[in-house]
């Protein structure tokens, strides 16, 4: 059956004005394709998987494009070959039949695909450190509307790169997987290093400048887009940042974490050219801590140097947030995506203590809102930082983070921008991702409700599209049930952290 889209337009749709002629010709080109191909497929329901090479019109409901200050009525998003061809498309302009149309309800809103700028794929499931699980974690991310992730430090970068390549080749399902490579600094040895004197074979204390530059070069060749610095000395950090920038890579850091000489202060890192900061600006313990006096200076530096900031509230708030808002912070059974054996182990482990005390958490909120109030709202990004010590998963944690950011005092519109366009800008991929604009990858989600009023509706997802391919969230989640973690006691080999020495 052919779908005639000429006659049923909603009268409230805004008229288009002054279209540049190039856009008309792109449209004409597409009409020509439709006519020539004589498409006769039935209408796509949202249960169908629509091939990325097909053409698709999503019409009705509301649209938040990632950039505007509000949502607007969706007259149509036209998608072809995995890309957005047109937004605010009025489908009665020419006589045409489109191959597939997805009609949205008045209650539904289209959003750009979410971006997680601190998306760990590593999990600690057998009490032997963290190891990457990239297959089903990615599916759970995607099912939650997260269409792009940057993994903020990997212990098995090879696994992440292999999965990235499978996804990009269309042989596996998952978000755009931006790779970080291994940690740059002594955290490459995970928690085995706690003071400066501790030796890390993967990042020796006497690592040379050449070794550092060679390491950066090595991962640049693997198309790593951004590096994570953690437990590097100021001298090391300076070299890492400089060498990364030579390759067009950005850097971020988990800083001010240890009062020892192998850490870099936020101030020094910003002056060295670090592009983003994770977790905290000062790590003061509340407003009265002398360190909090530095906060205004850090905020000014962040704005002056346009440094992005991911506060990772849901991780630091952790159990306290879940106790304070039990039904809002947990709404799904996340444990069922682990293997039965892993579920039992996690149950035995119990609930970990909060990652930060209430006083320290309060300071994180103060810092976040200080940066926002000083004019830094475009510098905020969303990162889950969920390395999985519990039976909860980073894909779901994304929605905990969105909610925690509104609890901190941010308006939902600015949280949604942090989740979309800001993340793409911070990662240097805003030419392709982060907003619903013509020419960009068709990465979006349709949610049942208005997330600009209630951010929780962003987790009520009807469909997800990544690079033009439509996914049903329930199908994705079902495919991941019972899959994460070892199958039994003889299956531990892939799930333990192992140090790979830097030198032969």
Question: Under the rule (CB under 5 A), what is the footprint of Zn ion?
Answer: 152, 385
CB closer to Zn ion out of 154 and 385: 385
Q: Least distance to Zn ion from the beta carbon of 330, Å? A: 21
Minimal distance in Å, beta carbon 153 to Zn ion?
6
Q: How many helical (H) and strand (E) elements, i.e. helices and strands, does the chain have?
A: 15, 19
Distance of CA 494 to the CA centre of its chain: 25
- Cβ-based nearer residue to Zn ion, 385 or 401: 385
Name the residue nearer to Zn ion (CB basis): 108 or 278: 278
DSSP state letters, 408-471: TT--HHHHHHHHTHHHHHHHT-TTTSSS--TTSB--EEEEES-TTT-GGGGGSEEEEEETTEEE
129 vs 286 by CB, closer to Zn ion:
129
Nearer to Zn ion by Cβ, of 130 and 459: the residue is 130
- Smallest separation, CB 344 to Zn ion (Å): 26
If the CB atoms of residues 312 and 363 are measured against Zn ion, the closer one turns out to be 312
Smallest gap from residue 386 Cβ to Zn ion (A):
8
The least CB distance from residue 230 to Zn ion, in Å, is 8
Contact 402, 392 (CB under 8 A): no
Could you give the CA distance from residue 148 to residue 384 in angstroms, rounded to a whole number?
A: 13
Give CA–CA dist 135/372, Å, rounded: 36
Rounded least distance, CB 426 to Zn ion, Å: 15
Q: Tell me if 185 sits within 8 A of 229, measured CB to CB.
A: yes
As measured in angstroms, the least distance from the Cβ of 118 to Zn ion is 6
- Contact between 179 and 160 (Cβ < 8 Å): yes
- 367 or 386: CB nearest Zn ion: 386
Q: Are 140 and 393 in contact (CB under 8 A)?
A: yes
Phi, psi of 143 (to 5 degrees): -60, -25
The two tokens of residue 440 are 């960009």
62: left (phi over 0), alpha (psi -120 to 50) or beta: beta
Task: Give the nearest residue (CB) to Zn ion.
Answer: 385
């Amino acid at each position: 059956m052919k779908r005639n889209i000429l006659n049923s337009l909603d009268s409230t749709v805004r008229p288009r004005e002054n279209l540049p002629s190039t856009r008309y010709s792109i449209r004409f080109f597409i009409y020509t394709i439709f006519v020539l191909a004589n498409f006769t497929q039935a209408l796509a329901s949202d249960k169908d998987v629509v091939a990325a090479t097909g053409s698709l019109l999503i019409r009705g409901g509301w649209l938040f494009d990632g950039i505007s200050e509000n949502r607007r009525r969706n007259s149509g998003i036209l998608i072809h070959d995995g890309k957005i061809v047109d937004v605010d498309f009025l489908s009665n302009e020419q006589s045409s039949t489109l191959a597939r149309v997805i009609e949205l309800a008045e209650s539904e809103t289209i959003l750009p695909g979410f971006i997680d700028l601190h998306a760990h794929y590593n999990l600690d499931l057998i009490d032997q450190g963290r190891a990457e699980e990239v297959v089903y974690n990615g599916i759970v991310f995607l099912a939650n509307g997260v269409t792009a992730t940057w993994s903020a430090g990997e212990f098995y970068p090879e696994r992440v790169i292999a999965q990235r390549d499978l996804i990009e080749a269309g042989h596996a399902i998952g978000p755009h997987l931006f790779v970080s490579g291994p940690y740059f600094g002594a955290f490459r040895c995970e928690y085995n290093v706690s003071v400066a004197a501790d030796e890390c074979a993967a990042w020796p204390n006497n690592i040379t400048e050449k070794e550092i530059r060679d390491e950066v070069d090595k991962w640049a060749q693997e198309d790593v887009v951004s590096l994570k610095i953690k437990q590097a000395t100021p001298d090391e950090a300076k070299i890492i940042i400089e060498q990364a920038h030579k390759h067009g890579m950005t850097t971020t850091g988990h800083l001010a974490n240890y009062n020892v000489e192998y850490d870099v202060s936020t101030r020094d890192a910003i002056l060295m050219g670090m592009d983003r900061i994770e977790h905290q600006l000062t790590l003061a313990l509340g407003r009265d801590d002398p360190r909090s006096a530095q906060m205004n200076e850090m905020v000014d530096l962040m704005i002056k140097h346009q440094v992005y900031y991911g506060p990772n509230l849901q991780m630091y708030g952790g159990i306290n947030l879940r106790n304070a808002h039990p039904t809002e912070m947990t709404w799904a059974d996340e444990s069922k995506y682990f293997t039965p054996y892993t579920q039992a182990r996690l149950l035995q482990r119990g609930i970990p203590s909060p990652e930060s005390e209430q006083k320290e958490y309060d300071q994180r909120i103060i810092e976040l809102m200080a940066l926002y109030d000083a004019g830094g709202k475009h510098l905020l990004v969303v990162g889950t930082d969920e390395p999985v010590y519990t039976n909860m998963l980073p894909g779901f944690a994304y929605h905990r983070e969105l909610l925690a950011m509104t609890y901190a005092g941010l308006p939902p519109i600015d949280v949604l921008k942090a989740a979309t366009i800001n993340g793409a800008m911070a990662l240097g991929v805003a030419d392709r991702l982060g907003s619903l604009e013509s020419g960009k990858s068709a990465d979006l989600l349709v949610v049942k409700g208005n997330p600009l009023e209630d951010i929780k509706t962003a987790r009520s997802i009807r469909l997800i599209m990544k690079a033009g391919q439509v996914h049903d969230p329930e199908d994705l989640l079902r495919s991941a049930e019972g899959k994460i973690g070892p199958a039994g006691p003889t299956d531990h080999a892939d799930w333990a952290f192992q140090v790979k020495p830097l030198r032969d």
